[in-house]
Structure 1
């Protein structure tokens, strides 16, 4: 289906806004300059987006919402498998999940760059932290279920789990912070995943039957 004139205008506006936000960050971006990039008047922008924050959310929102949904889906699936099979993620499975996440990052690298490095002052500033909090909660739920099923001897305190998950994200998202090429990222992830997996296996001691 051919896009309408309004849809094409909105697409051009989003592309120009993205370029402005990438160059100047949310706080430094200016609607007037975005309008100039798009060949529009500033007033015309308001027919599409009520303010700069709404425009920023339109640029990053689709990818941000998708990755949050995927993380929730993975967490739910892991608990489901644990309930059904006593399933414990192995290194191969962990590697697969991380590579899926990395693939999505590189499919939407500019958006992740915006969220990590250019979102200060916007309503999306805390999005990455919200992902981390989601993962902390799902990790704790998974560990609690393993304990309940007798699959672990013990686990660290919840505050330690939270700190470890935060550090995992910091290490993983270094590929965006450092603007690694895909080749560099692949080599980094090849070394990072077994490093993180070994750490979690050491901390979460399984019962002798596992």
Structure 2
């Protein structure tokens, strides 16, 4: 708090007049954008399910590639908040925020795969424990952009390697030819 107060040109006591503790300050900094991030991922999951229902097929490589590149843009348009949530939230009430996104995604992925099984597009879904690991690892690979403090250019270069890697992996898991 002293460092923050000093950089803001305030006393520590003045900061505490506005924020009762570090968690309140952290929440003020990340809360609105964190809610927006969660809403964005919920919308994306809903959209993917809707596309599956309408087209009776899973996304093609180009479609999934575009979706991941849009996620990169989304991250970079909110990079400071992502940085706080990923690299600076330890010890705060927000330290498990990314885990909450992963849980949200896991739930929607399970529903998506169940729908694929119902539509006979998939013989069976991976075991829940394995699916949870795969979803978590996919998130960690994408969020490495923030964890490693990549520039936008580095992130786009990295995504050119990661997108085919993820697509091939998920296609293999889902029994689809790449």
1:139 to partner: Cα distance: 0.7
Is the Cα–Cα contact under 8 Å of residues 57 and 121 in structure 2 kept in the other structure? no
- The counterpart of 2:90, out of the listed 107, 116, 120, is 120
- The counterpart of 1:56, out of the listed 2, 26, 29, is 26
Q: Counterparts of 1:193 and 1:165 in 2: how far apart (Å)? A: 14
TM (normalized to structure 2)?
0.91
Aligned to 1:3: none
Aligned to 1:13: none
1:48 to partner: Cα distance: 2.6
Question: Who wins on radius of gyration, i.e. which is larger?
Answer: 1
- The counterpart of 2:41, out of the listed 52, 68, 71, is 71
Aligned to 1:81: 51
Aligned to 2:134: 164
Residues matched between the structures, number:
177
Are residues 1:108 and 2:78 paired?
Answer: yes
1:41 to partner: Cα distance: 3.4
| Structure 2, unaligned runs of 5 or more | none
| Structure 1, unaligned runs of 5 or more | 1-29
Are residues 1:97 and 2:97 paired?
Answer: no
Aligned to 1:177: 147
Structural RMSD (CA)? 1.7
SS at match of 1:174: helix
Q: Counterparts of 1:47 and 1:157 in 2: how far apart (Å)? A: 51
TM (normalized to structure 1)?
0.78
